[in-house]
């Protein structure tokens, strides 16, 4: 895992969250709150996909990757929910602070899933070392 990619992933996440919230507020003027939430979530997820392709992982968007990308959001939901439960019900942490900690703990796991979906498994190194790893050395 490269730190620069993780930082870029985090920046996309912050932008995605802000986009979601602005869209939610705008849509909630015309739609019930739950409909506004779902629409804003889906729109921001599409934006997140393209930003992560272009900015975080620098990979070409494809329909297959686009259809698999929601797996990273499901991963985030599961890991952050489990973390929240652990922090609040098991460790008795504050319910106001715990969601932020749980969300932060979910980022690396979500990053790995998004990376697998968008770029697959990469071999570290380049040139001859990469060819040797792939069994294509001259």
Q: Given this model, what pLDDT does residue 131 score?
A: 39
Q: Given this model, what pLDDT does residue 103 score?
A: 84
Note the pTM of the prediction, 2 decimals: 0.74
Mean pLDDT in consecutive groups of 10 residues from the start of the chain, 138 residues: 86 91 93 89 94 94 94 88 91 87 87 91 51 41
Report the domain count for the chain.
Answer: 1
DSSP string, 23-70: HHHHHTTTS-HHHHHHHHHHHHHHHHHHHIIIIIS-----HHHHHHTH
Q: Given this model, what pLDDT does residue 69 score?
A: 92
Look up the domain containing 113 and give its range. Answer: 3-134
Q: Given this model, what pLDDT does residue 81 score?
A: 87
């Amino acid at each position: 895992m490269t730190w620069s990619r993780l930082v870029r992933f985090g920046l996309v996440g912050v932008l995605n969250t802000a986009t979601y919230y602005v869209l939610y507020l705008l849509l909630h003027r015309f739609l019930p709150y739950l409909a506004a939430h779902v629409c804003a979530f889906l729109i921001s997820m599409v934006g997140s996909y393209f930003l992560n392709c272009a900015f975080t992982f620098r990979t070409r968007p494809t329909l297959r990757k686009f259809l698999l990308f929601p797996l990273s959001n499901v991963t985030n939901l599961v890991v952050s929910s489990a973390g929240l439960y652990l922090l609040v019900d098991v460790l008795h942490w504050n319910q106001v602070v715990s969601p932020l900690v749980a969300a932060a703990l979910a980022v690396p796991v979500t990053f790995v899933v998004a990376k697998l979906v968008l770029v697959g498994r990469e071999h570290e190194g380049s040139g001859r070392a990469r060819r040797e790893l792939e069994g294509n050395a001259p």
